[in-house]
Amino acid sequence: MSAALMVVGHGSRDADGLEEFWALAQHVREAAADLPVGFGFIELAEPLVDAGIDELVARGTTDVVSIPLVLLAAGHLKNDGPAALTRARMRHPGVAFRMGRDLGIDPAVLAVAEDRAREALGDFDPAESAVVLVARGSSDPDAGSDLYKVARLLADGRGLGLVEPAFAGVASPSVPEALERCRRLGAKHIAVVPFFLFTGVLVPRIYAQAAEYAALHPELTVVGGPHLGPDRRLARLVLERYREALTGPVRMNCDLCTYRVRLPGYEDKVGTPISLTPHGDGPARGSRRSRRATRAPLVAPEIRRPSLRPAPAVNVAPGTPPALELEGLAFAYPDGTPALAGIDLSLLPGERLAVLGPNGAGKTTLALGACGALDEVRGVVRVGGEVPGRRELRRRVGIVFQDPDDQLFMPTVEADVAFGPAKQGLRGEELRARVDEALDAVRATDLAARPPHSLSAGERRRVAIAGVLACRPDVLVLDEPTAALDPAGRRELLDVLVSLRLALLLITHDLPYALELCPRAVVLDRGQLVADGATREVLADDGFMRAHRLELPAGFNPLVA
C-alpha cells in the first residue's frame, strides 16, 4: 500500500457533534472506495490525529495526505495540523506527509449552505428576506474574511435576499448585531443559519441568541436554519482535496477565484487563469510587484512599529468617563433617507480614533452630529460624562472642516486664531496667551502676522486646527485633514496631531494615514457601525474591506506598514 487519506477533525465533547463527524466519515469511506482512510482529532475526542496516522503507517502506507475537515482556515489548521505532521515525520522518517486544503470556499460548500438557507426560508418573499450566516468566530483575519466571501457569494444571484455574516464569539458582528442590520435594511423574515459542519455547544447558543432577539421584535419572523451537517457532497469534496494535494501544488483557498465553475456572465472563462486582483476577469499580466496585493500573507511577518514619536502618555483613572460618548445617534435627510441609524460610540480621553467607510457611509454626518452642528439629530451626546447644551457642545467638541478656507476669513493668522476665544469672552493678555498657546501647539508661531491666503495648504490646515484648539475643546474632530496635502505637509500634520493631548476623531479615506495615527478604527457603512477594533486588524481583513468598498493603495500591506 502506498498513499492514504488522513481526515483530521477538530474534536468535540458533544456526543451529537461526534456522531455527525462519524456519519460524514462513513460517507468519505464510501466515496473513497479502496483508498485507505484514517481519522483523528486535534483534541477533545479519540482517536487523536497522532494515533490515526500511526495506524495508517502500521497498515503499510508510505504517503499520507492529511485533509483538515474544517470550513474556515484558522489557528487549528495553520498551527496544530502542521504540528501533527511534523511529529509524524519524526516518528516515521521513511513516510511522506502532505497537508491539503480545508473545505473552504468551494461550490459544494456553497451549494450545501444554500440548501440549508432555502430550507429555513421556505416560501418567504426574497425581497423581504435575509439570511444571517453564523460562523464560530476567530481572531484569525483569514477565517473572518472567508466568511464574508461566502456570504457575498451566497447573496449573488441565488434569490436568497440579503445575506449577512455573523460570529458566535470572538469576532464581530455578533448574531444580534447582524439581525439588527437585517431589520434596518428592511428584512421581515430572517433565517439564522449556522455555518458549522457539525453541531456542538455553539449551535444551540446561536439559536438562543436569535430567539432572544426575536422576542424583542415581534414584527419579525426569525427562524433557525440547520447547520451543514454530514452531507455526501462534502464527502466528495474531501476526496477532491486529497487528489489535489496528491497530484500537484495546493491551490488558493477560494475555488471561485479561478474559473473552474460556470458563473453568470463568465461562462466563456471556465478553465482560464485570473489576475491577482479580487475576482478579476482576465489572466494576470505584468510583474508580480506591479500588481495589487489583495491578501495578507498566510503567516504574518514581524510587525514593525509605525515611524512616529510615542503618543503622549494618557493616564485615565478608573471611573473616568469617556471624553466623547454617542448613544443612539441618528439622523435622516429631509426626504426621510437615514444617514445615521442609531450609532453607539465612545472615545476615551487622549484616544485617537479613525472613522472609516466608503462615500456616503455617514462619516461626515457623524462628525457634525457629534459637535452639535446638525438640527433634528436624535440620540445623546455626552462629553466627559455630561450632556451639554448645544452651544456648550460646540465649544467642547471642535471640528476642523475638510477645506480650511471655510474657517479662515480674518486678515491675519493671529486674528483668525483669536476669533473663537474672543467670542468666548477672552480679552487682553489672556487672549494673547491663548493664541500663542494654540499656534505653538501646531508649530505655526512664525505665521502669526501673515495673511491666511499666503500660506501653503499644509500651513492653512495647521492654522485652522489652531483656531479650534484656541477654544480648548475636549475633543478634536478632523474631517479629511490630509486632503490636498503633499507628503511633507502630511508628515508635519501627523507630528502635530500625535503631540496633542486631547481625544481625536479622524474622519478619513486615507487608510495608511489612519493606521499611522490612530490605534483604533471604526467603520461606517450605510449609516451603521459595522466594525470597531484595532486599526491594523480592521485593514488587514481583506474580505471585510472589499465587502464595505474600502481599498488600500497598491502594494500597501497593513501587517508590515
| The pTM of the whole model exceeds 0.75 | no
Alpha-carbon gap, residue 334 to 175, rounded angstroms: 32
Q: Decide: 372 and 393 in contact? Cβ < 8 Å.
A: yes
**Contact residues for 68 (Cβ-Cβ < 8 A; gap 6+):** 8, 76, 77, 81, 99, 100, 101, 102
Peptide bond into 173 cis (omega under 30): yes
- pLDDT tens for the chain, 561 residues long, are 589 999 999 888 888 889 999 999 999 999 998 899 999 998 888 899 999 999 999 999 999 999 999 887 665 556 777 888 889 999 999 999 998 988 888 999 999 999 999 999 988 888 899 999 999 887 667 777 888 889 989 988 888 889 999 998 777 889 999 999 999 989 999 999 999 999 988 898 899 999 999 999 999 999 999 999 999 999 999 999 999 988 865 554 444 444 444 444 445 544 443 332 333 333 333 332 222 222 222 232 222 223 333 333 345 677 889 999 999 999 988 878 889 988 999 999 999 999 999 988 999 999 999 999 888 899 999 999 999 999 899 999 999 988 888 888 899 999 999 999 999 999 999 999 999 999 999 999 999 999 998 999 899 999 999 999 999 999 999 999 998 888 888 889 999 999 998 999 999 999 999 999 999 999 999 899 999 989 998 998 888 888 888 988 887 888 766
DSSP single-letter state for residue 255: G
Residue where a domain terminates, one of 224, 239, 254: 224
Q: Which single residue is written with the C-alpha cell 466594525? A: 531
Asked whether residue 332 is domain-assigned, the answer is yes
- CA 290 to chain CA centroid, Å, is 26
Say if residue 344 is in the same domain as residue 211. Answer: no
Q: Give the Cα separation of 121 and 80 in Å (integer).
A: 37
Within a domain: residue 487?
yes
Residue 243 inside a domain? The answer is: no
Output the domain CATH number for residue 212.
3.40.50.1400
In a domain, 48, yes or no: no
Last residue of one domain, picked from the residues 224, 256, 276 = 224
Last residue of a domain, one of 175, 191, 224: 224
SS3 346: strand
**DSSP H or E segment with residue 521:** strand 520-525
- The span from the CA of 63 to the CA of 57, in Å, is 9
Please indicate, yes or no, whether residues 343 and 452 belong to a single structural domain of this protein.
yes
- Return all residues near 357 (Cβ < 8 A) that are at least 6 apart: 363, 523, 524, 525, 548, 550
Domain containing residue 464? 324-547
Terminal CA-CA length for the chain: 50
Number of structural domains the chain divides into:
2
471 and 354 share a domain? yes
Q: What is the CATH number of the domain that holds 366?
A: 3.40.50.300
Q: Look at residue 331 and tell me if it is in a domain.
A: yes
In a domain, 286, yes or no: no
Give the three cell numbers for residue 119. 430550507
Torsion of CA 508, 511, 512, 518, to 10 degrees: 60
